[in-house]
Each structure stands twice: as structure tokens, then as C-alpha cells.
Amino acid sequence: MNTTIMLFLIQDGITNGAIYALLGLALVLVFAVTRVILIPQGEFVTYGALTYASLCAGQMPGTARLAFVMGIAAFAFDVFAARRALRLPLIARAFAANIILPGIVLALTSVLVGRHPPVLVNVALALVIVALIGVFLYRLAFQPLAHTSVLVLLIASVGCHLAMQGLGLLFFGAEGQRGPALADTAATLGPLRFTGQSIAVYTLTIAFIVALWLFFGLSVYGKALRATAVNRLGARLVGIRTSLSGQIAFLLASIIGALSGILIVPITTLYYDTGFLIGLKGFIAAIIGGLVSYPLTAIAALLVGIVEAFSSFYASNFKEVIVFMLLIPVLLARSLAAPAVEEEKD
Amino acid sequence: MRERLPILVFALLMAAIPFVPDMPPFWIVLLDNIGLSALVAMGLVLLTGVGGLTSFGQAAFVGFGAYTTAVLTTAYGLSPWLTLPAALVVSGIAAVLLGLVTVRLSGHYLPLGTIAWGLGLFYLFSKLEFLGRNDGISGIPPLAIGTFRMIDPGTIYYAIWAAVLIAALLTMNLLDSRTGRAIRALRRGHVAAEAFGVQTPRSKLLVFIHAAVLAGLSGWLYAHFQRAVNPTPFGAQAGIEYLFIAVVGGAGYVWGGVLGAAIVVVLKEVLQSYLPLLLHGEGQLEIIVFGILLVALLQLAPSGVWPLLASLLPVKPSTKRPDPTLQLTERVRTAGEGGVLLEVDKARKQFGGVIAVNDVSFDVQAREIVALIGPNGAGKSTTFNLITGVLTATSGAIAVNGRKLRNPPPQEVVKLGIARTFQHVKLVPDMTVLENVAIGAHLRGSAGPLSSMFRLDRADEARLLAEAARQIARVGLAEQMDQPAGSLSLGQQRIVEIARALCADPMLLLLDEPAAGLRHMEKQRLASLLRQLRDGGMSVLLVEHDMGFVMDLADRIVVLDFGTKIAEGTPAAIKQNPEVIKAYLGAAA
């Protein structure tokens, strides 16, 4: 192997690894706050990517309608949950958040679609649509199950993944799509060529990691989320609404997922079911990070990306085997290093 | 026999179904598929619902069973009946190898580890040349008895459902035994079970193997049912679906696996065949509806459908009382009258920079009640954990009957005749008081998993339960014997823990705050029980905050403060000790 190939592989690995890092961070965030292992993370990726690609191609994405329908259901859930103490301001707030907001987004999408708005407008629309879906998903599927075991939450999570993947096929069809790049520039450094897109991937990943770090370190909501992650009951006792924490976690996760999708859809063709495998790789990174540590997850994600790049070069048949088997020694080491304390399980 | 009656009815019902006139063959195929899934789900019930070990990798074990028979029958021409043991052994050995790596994983790492090797094995199945890569292996011979060949779904139906019923019976027998109690205790953590001699890693490996062998059996049947195998049904999706089945049906119940298989298989079939007609839609509508229904079902019945259904069935749990005349052999008591039973010499435990126990020395004589007291955080419970092997001492020595212990695991400490209770009650809440207490006698029984499955353990089991019942009566909870332990008040649960400790036939009883949560009369009863035990030759070391209780009961008191022993003596002397008064009430007092 010569150095050029190695550099190429490393570059490729880092670009993919940066995406895995974003997804891994989202998974850690959601798990810590809600105990949900977010399998539908992959669908956030495809929804984001394909919504963006559809908008750019001048097609109306089905996800905008999905967000509106989920909003109506969420409104029904809110009203049903508060049926013993229905007050007008409460209903009005739920109506505004669950029906008016997605309604405006739906209207805006159908007005703008086909008029070829600037790329950034499409990005923003795609992000908002997927973010709404994320928040409503928590409200509809997971908030009623918040008290149950991790296992039940996990099964519900798989159920959501199946439903959303099926909807993805319905909205976007079986053909793959590509979207326009965010930036057309390119720079060369020695033998390596950095496209504007890969530079955007690096910058946005770093920006998001820093933003998350600031959010959790400095903002009240970030601290509330951390408190919920450490102890739900304790958080409730000091007045933190744990359902709000869950919604914020899902909001962030869906934005991160959609953004990852938008970042890769100009590089690779995405199909309605591609997200699952991408999400899984982020998941591996999250596990290596122990589902708790953000910096470790980011480093592990880069590692996963590089291992994947090299194994697809040397043994492309066994690429997935190698990536997944990477986990076992890591898990073992983490497990043995963990202190032998009694876990109070549910 | 009466509790077996519903199973017999169910078996007869299932046997009669193919004889129903005009039974559409489609339904028989469906029932075959339900049976195949039920076998795997049953293993998962034991592994995940009962044992608390979530696995996504079960489909891989189905693959081991299916590919073993596929290769052996097609490439080597072996009879399917010869490949049955081979298929079970291969999945069992795979479980041992994967289990040795995986069951050591704690908490959430375990299910994640199973996803990893589940996916890895799936890709391996689809890449290996001798397994036919993605195309798999076809032309597998059907099962045959003599000239009777089970080719159509209606005949292999009997093989499948016989396997389901036998597996269910064996699994239920296993759960209702000495080994089964050790398995059922796994989900609540390992410290309590280990304190009574349960080798928890071995129990975990056992359920892992059991689940894998059931999955392998399902795979063997599947290969001869489909007569062809390819990697698709052994992938991650299938592994997740088996988990669905177990959770929807009721992950804690053997029949939940069967019911869950029926619900999920029928639901998928109905959605697949009727939904497209109904909606004329394109795409995978059935997957969408299936996913949504799954979430809705979980919201309506988070612990599964089976418990809801079972509460409607007119079957009462048996309240069989064990025969009280059966006796277990008692420990040969080598300690002479009045010798030193337990000697703690300069025991020290450091957690990082914190010295929790600082060179503490004391002893417990035979027939003596010693109390360990001190303010919160004095290191009392840590001292208990050092003695019982839950924690290893940083330095110092602990000797029992003059024999020095070299950091033995808890399972060895209880063999020396030291049994304990816990400050935070560690019972299995959904097991009855009787079953919980019987865990205490774990080391006094000998029946293993195989003899439990085939009910060869009944004599051994009856003796264990008789002993448990005797100890429950002794602590005064005979009335509550058949109630779930979780339904008792906290004070009563502490007493159940004492009965469990007594079941181990100890020479030294370690009680961590036994009187907390008890009413006045109950405390008096407890005190007289402990005196009675002492007069019968037992020693007691207890941690307690109720000073009235301690001063009345203890022969000797050891006082700890910030990990250091500050006083030792008779209750009268301790009451007057200025150091003790200072520790409890502050310097000014």
C-alpha cells in the first residue's frame, strides 16, 4: 500500500466517522435522558436527507404531511392526558404547538416547493420537518411508556423504526436519491482533495459538538437534561418536567440525524432504508463510548469510520463483520473495568 | 397433577386441530410458524424475562441449528434424526463460547454485545462458501419415521408442536426447582444470591445455553420444514422479532412466549394478506401498521398480554405445603463450646483516598451476640461486606474457626457457616416467601438443571422446601408463606431475610439493621428469637441503630466511628464510655 491510498482511506474514514460521531452523540443523549435506545435514529437520517433532496428536486416531501398528522395525534394525546383538568390556556398551548406549528410548516413547504428556493432554505425546511417528527414521536410513542423498563422501551423503539422505515418507502419510493452539495468549492492539499462538502461535514460536526457541550454546560435546559439523565425522580422533585426533557432530547436527536443525512446525501446515494445501517455504526461508536461519554463517543466514531474504510479496501466482503466484531473486545474490556457494584434494576 | 391439567387440555386441542374438517392448509402453515417462533421465544423468556439477560442474537442460534442439519444431511447424507443431537450440540457449544464472552458483560453492555455478534454471525453465514453464501443450502431431506415422510405442513406440525410442549414442560420444571430459583434471582442482582452460594456466572451461562439449545431445535425443525436454508431468517431483524414476541406475550412467562408468537405471527400474516386489498396501497403498509400496533400494544399492556389473559383463567396457583417431617443434614459443628468463632484482625478497606474501615479488630465468640454500632457512615456495612467476601479487604486478616480467609468469594464464605441479611432488602419480589427463603438452603441441595428438568429432583426439592417452611415458621411468618415477597411490609421482608439466612444452617448470623421498620412487639419477638438462637449454639453479629434493642440484647458491643473502632465492651460499659457519647452526641455533650 502506498501513502496516497492510506491517506485517501483515512480521509474517507474521517468523513464517515464525523457523521457517525454526530449520530453517536445523539444516541448517547437520548439514552441518557429517556433510557430509549433510539433505533429510529437511522430514519431521522434518511428523512432529513430525502426530504432535502425532494425539496431540491421540486417535489413535495411526504414527511411534511406526516409531521402534520403526527401533530394532530399528539394534540389528541395531550387533550386525553389532561382530560380531568381541561383548561383553555392548556388546550390553546397544545393546539398551537401540535397543530398550528406543523400546519404553518406544511403550508410553507407547499408554497415554496417547485419555486427553487435557495439551498439553505431547503436545508432549514428539512430540519424543521424532521425535528417536528422527532418531538411528536416522543410524545406519541415514548412518553406514555416512560415508566417502563429499558427492554419495553427498546421494543417500542424497534416498532417505531419499522413504521418509519415503511413510511419512508411510501414517501420516497424505492429509488435512491442524491441532493445538491452545500458548497461547490474544493481545495487540494498534496495528493488529497477536500471538497466543499467534506469541509462542511468537518465544520458542522465540530460546531455541533461544541454547541452541545455549551448547551449542556451552560444553559438551564441543558442542566435540566443532565439532571434527568442522572436521576428522573430527583429531577422531578426539583421541578424539572421529565417529559419536557424527553422532548428536548428527541428534538436534538432528530435535528442531528436530519443534519447528518443532509450532509451525506450529496456524497452518497441514499435509499429509504440506508439510514438504519448508518445509525447502527453511530450506535457502535456510542457503545464504545459507554453510552455516557461524549468525547469518547466522538473518538470512537472516528475509529469506526477509519476501520470501516480500511476493511472495505482490504476485505470488502467482511466489512460489516469486522466493524461489528470490533465491539466485542471493547465491551469486554469496559465490562471488566466496571466496578462490581450492585445495580438496582427495574 | 392438577396444575398440569390445562397443559394437557391445550395439547389435546392442538393435536385435534389438523382433524378439523375443511381446515385451510394455510392455517396449519401459520401454526407451524407459530410453533417455530414459540420455541425461540420460550428460550428468550427464560433468558430475558426471568434471567434479565436481553439477547438480540437468538436468531443466530436458530441459524446454527438449521445450518448444522443442512450441511450434515446434504453434504454428508446423514439422517435428520442423527443431526438433531448435532444441531443441539452445535448451538449449545456456540452458546458456551459466546456466553463466556457475553454474560460477563454487565448492565446495558450485554444486549449490545448480543447485537454485535448477532450481526457478525449473520454476515458470516452469508459469506462462507460451505454454507452456500447468500443462496444458502437447498435439497434438505424431510423428517421421516420409517416410510412416513413429514413433507407437508400438516405432518411436521406434530413434530413442531410436540417440541413446543416438551420444551415448555421442561422449562417450567426447570424454573420450579433449586436451579430455577437461582436463575429467577439473577434479575435482582447477584449479591444476595451469591451470599448463599449461587454461582451466578454459571447460572447465567446455563440460561444462555438453554435458550440457545431451544433456538437450535427451532432451527433444526425449520430446516426440515422449509427443506432449504438461507441467511435471511437468521439476521438482526429476526433476532429483534423474537424479542418482540417475548415482550408482547409477556417476557416473564413461559406461555407468554407461545402467546406472543401467536399474536405476532398472526398479526403479520393478517396485515400482509388483507391490508393491501383493503387500501390498494403501494409500499410496505403492513410494516407501518405492524410497527404502530406494536407500540400501541406495549402502551396498553407493558408487561405483556399473557398476565392479562392468565388472570382470567380459572387456575389457582398451587399452595402445596412441603412435608414437614423431611430433614436436611446439618452442619457438623466443629467449634468447641466457647471458642473464638470469628476473628477480625486489623481489617482495612480503602476506596481511593477514603478509608471506610481503618484497621478494625474484634472477635465473636461462640454462643454470643455482638452488636456493631456507630453513627451513619461509620463503616459498619462495609465491615459486613469484608467479612462476607462481597468486598476484598485492602489489608488485614479475617479468620473463621481459627482458619485464615484469603479473600474468598461470598460463595465460599457461606460454606464456612456465615450467613447474612442486607441493610437494603434483597429479595426477589415476584417469588413467594417460601421460594425466597429456599434460596438460603441452596448449598444444602444438590439437584442440577437436567435432573430438575426431568423432575428427578423431587426428593431433594421437598427437603429444601421443608427446611424453608420450618425456618419461616420459626420467625413467625407461616401465614405469609405463599405470598409474593414484594407484597410484605419492609419490616416483614427483613424477617424473611433472617429466615433465608437461617436456611443456610449458619454458625454465625450477620444481621444488617434487622429491627429497622419493625413495630415494638415485633422487635421484642425478634430479640427473643435471637436469644433463642444463641442459646441453641449460634452466634450473632448485628448492626443496629435502635439503642434500646441493642442494649437489651447484645452480650458485647463494638463501636465504630469514621471507620475506626473507638470502644468495645458490655452494654453497661459502652453507655458510660465518653468516646462513644462524644461520637453520637458531639463534643459539647
pLDDT in tens, B118-137: 888 888 888 888 888 888 88
A contacts of B292 (beta carbons < 8 Å):
159, 163
B563: left (phi over 0), alpha (psi -120 to 50) or beta: left
Tell whether the model's pLDDT for residue B218 goes beyond 90.
yes
**Residue whose C-alpha is closest to residue B257's, from B27, B50, B9, B26:** B50
Tell whether the model's pLDDT for residue A340 goes beyond 70.
no
Is B189 within 8 Å of A342 when comparing Cβ atoms?
Answer: yes
Mean pLDDT of A118-126: 90
In whole angstroms, how far apart are CA B561 and each of A162, B151, B288, B397, B587? 58, 77, 63, 20, 14
Tell whether the model's pLDDT for residue A193 goes beyond 80.
no
Q: What would the grid cell of residue A311 be?
A: 476493511
Is A162 within 8 Å of B124 when comparing Cβ atoms?
Answer: no
A contacts of B108 (beta carbons < 8 Å):
150, 291
pLDDT reported for residue A339 = 46
Of A145, A169, A332, the CB nearest to B299: A145
Tell whether the model's pLDDT for residue B320 goes beyond 70.
no
Is B106 within 8 Å of A342 when comparing Cβ atoms?
Answer: no
Mean pLDDT of B319-330: 73
Tell whether the model's pLDDT for residue B164 goes beyond 90.
yes
Mean pLDDT of A315-342: 66
A230 touches chain B (CB under 8 A): no
B313: left (phi over 0), alpha (psi -120 to 50) or beta: beta
A contacts of B115 (beta carbons < 8 Å):
324
A contacts of B248 (beta carbons < 8 Å):
155
Query: DSSP E strands: which ranges in A46-197?
Result: 186-189, 192-195
pLDDT reported for residue B589 = 46
A321 touches chain B (CB under 8 A): yes
A146 touches chain B (CB under 8 A): no
Is A317 within 8 Å of B287 when comparing Cβ atoms?
Answer: no
pLDDT reported for residue A345 = 39
- The nearest CA of chain B is from the CA of A81 a distance in Å of 14
**Residue whose C-alpha is closest to residue A43's, from A247, A258, A262, A267:** A258
Q: Which residue has the higher pLDDT, A345 or A230?
A: A230
Count of A-B CB contacts under 8 Å = 133
pLDDT band at B438 (very low <50, low <70, confident <90, very high): very high
CA distance B295 to A164: 12
In chain A, which residue's Cα lies nearest the Cα of B249? A152
A144 touches chain B (CB under 8 A): yes
pLDDT band at A343 (very low <50, low <70, confident <90, very high): very low
- Residue B239 exposed, middle or buried by CB count within 10 Å (0-12, 13-18, 19+): buried
Of B251, B281, B285, the CB nearest to A151: B251
Q: Which residue has the higher pLDDT, A204 or A73?
A: A73
In chain B, which residue's Cα lies nearest the Cα of A40? B291
Of B105, B244, B302, the CB nearest to A158: B244
A333 touches chain B (CB under 8 A): no
Is A284 within 8 Å of B116 when comparing Cβ atoms?
Answer: yes
A324 touches chain B (CB under 8 A): yes
A241 touches chain B (CB under 8 A): no
A111 touches chain B (CB under 8 A): no
Compute φ and ψ for B569, nearest 5 degrees. 165, -170
Query: For A18-44, what is each residue's pLDDT tens digit?
Result: 888 888 888 888 888 888 889 899 999
Mutation site for A-interface testing, chosen from B119, B128, B271, B349 by largest number of A Cβ within 10 Å: B119
**Residue whose C-alpha is closest to residue B119's, from A326, A282, A40, A288:** A326
CA distance B426 to B490: 11
- Residue A270 exposed, middle or buried by CB count within 10 Å (0-12, 13-18, 19+): buried
Q: Which residue has the higher pLDDT, B334 or B82?
A: B82
In chain A, which residue's Cα lies nearest the Cα of B124? A321
- Tell me, what DSSP letter sits at residue B379? S
pLDDT reported for residue B581 = 84
pLDDT reported for residue B280 = 60
Q: How many CB atoms lie within 10 A of CB A313?
A: 16
Q: Which helix (H) or strand (E) holds B558?
A: strand B556-561
In chain A, which residue's Cα lies nearest the Cα of B54? A151
- The nearest CA of chain A is from the CA of B196 a distance in Å of 16
Of A155, A165, A317, the CB nearest to B127: A317
pTM of the model as a whole: 0.83
Is B106 within 8 Å of A343 when comparing Cβ atoms?
Answer: yes
